[in-house]
Amino acid sequence: MQSWQLPEHVADVLPTMARQLESAREQLLALFRVHGYELVQPPLMEYSNSLLTHIDAGLSLKTIRVADQISGRQLGIRADITPQVARIDAHLLSANNGINRLCYAGAVLHARPDGFFSTREPLQVGAELYGYDGIAADIELVDLMLKSMALADFGDVLLSLGHIGVFRALAEAAHLDREQSAQLLALMQDKDAEAVRKLVAGWQLDGMWAKAFSLLPTLYGGREILAAARAKLPDLSAVGKALDELQAVCDAFPEQALHIDLSELRVDNYHTGLLYAAYGAKSHDAVARGGRYDGLGGHFGRARPATGFSFDLRTFIGRLPDAGRSPVIMVAQQDAAAAREAVAELRAQGQCVIVDYGMEHNGSANIAGRLKNIDGSWQIVGV
Q: Which residues are annotated as a binding site for L-histidine?
A: 80-82, 124, 128, 266
d(CA 92, CA 264) in angstroms, rounded, equals 34
Q: Which residues, other chains included, contact 365 with Cβ-Cβ below 8 Å and sequence gap of 6+?
A: none
d(CA 205, CA 180) in angstroms, rounded, equals 12
Q: Strand 100-107 vs strand 123-130: parallel, antiparallel, or unpaired?
A: antiparallel
The number of angstroms, rounded, from the C-alpha of 22 to the middle of its chain's C-alpha atoms is: 16
Q: Which amino acid is at 134?
A: G
DSSP 103-150: EEEEE---SS-SSTT--SS-EEEEEEEES--SHHHHHHHHHHHHHHHH
Q: Which residues are annotated as a binding site?
A: 80-82, 124, 128, 266
Angle at 104 between CA 321 and CA 13, to 5 degrees: 45
Q: How many CB atoms lie within 10 A of CB 281?
A: 11
Three-state SS for 13?
coil
Angle at 136 between CA 130 and CA 141, to 5 degrees: 60
DSSP state of 277: E
DSSP 34-81: HTTPEE----SEEEGGGGTTTT-HHHHHH-EEEE-TTT-SEEEE-S-S
In terms of phi and psi (left: phi > 0; alpha: psi -120 to 50; beta: otherwise), the region of 291 is left
